[in-house]
Chains A and B, each alone.
Chain A
Amino acid sequence: EAGVTQSPTHLIKTRGQQATLRCSPISGHTSVYWYQQALGLGLQFLLWYDEGEERNRGNFPPRFSGRQFPNYSSELNVNALELEDSALYLCASSLLVGEGGETQYFGPGTRLLVL
């Protein structure tokens, strides 16, 4: 069974540009989570999508947004990039919360570098 996949593996942008990161969950998983791992700050929760809806959002500005498609894959968009957005972005997927959704499976991540 294929795990969580993310693309691209690396992304280089300049300040002010937009970045789009993609995530495909494990087959059968309906929930997708995005986390940011910036140097020195640890892993921080960004967004949770389930059944196409945003369920919860971490303490990040609105220029961090995303969506979940009917096939449960997800996109994370970061607008007006700032230098401090440079980080490893991890996607995780799970079954629906309350139906085994307490276990999240992580992808390999997308490393975003903002110059």
Chain B
Amino acid sequence: KQEVTQIPAALSVPEGENLVLNCSFTDSAIYNLQWFRQDPGKGLTSLLLIQSSQREQTSGRLNASLDKSSGRSTLYIAASQPGDSATYLCAAYGGSQGNLIFGKGTKLSVKP
């Protein structure tokens, strides 16, 4: 049974700092891994999707990496801004079962 864990649960950083969010998964037989952003009380915004054959994906100040052998993914945020404050969720997709398995998220606070 796939389990996804995110560390830390919460993170507070000053504006401008580079930061790394961690995600680990127990079953390496994933189809892809996706990072989402969730603002309070809102739905999910997809940030980056990494296919199982890929090692990383980049979008603007965001870079996500995937190491299937170690069961880990990281989301790197460069030059953080107060607008980046949100909860970041990672989710593993196994394919045949259809559903995403989510971690519980990292709540990020970027202080001006």
Contacts and interface: CB of A to CB of B under 8 A. Distances in A.
B49 interface: yes
A56 interface: yes
B96 A97 contact: yes
Interface string B57-101: 000000000000000000000000000000001010101111111
Interface stretch (A11-19, A61-69, A105-113): A105-113
Contacts, number: 62
A108 B38 CA distance: 10
A72 interface: no
A107 B44 CA distance: 7
Interface in B28-45: 31-32, 34, 36, 41-45
Interface residues of B, number: 26
B42 A45 contact: no
B102 A102 contact: no
Contacts of A101: 98
Given A56-B97, A97-B95, A97-B96, A105 B46 contact: yes
A95 B101 CA distance: 18
A19 to B, nearest CB: 18
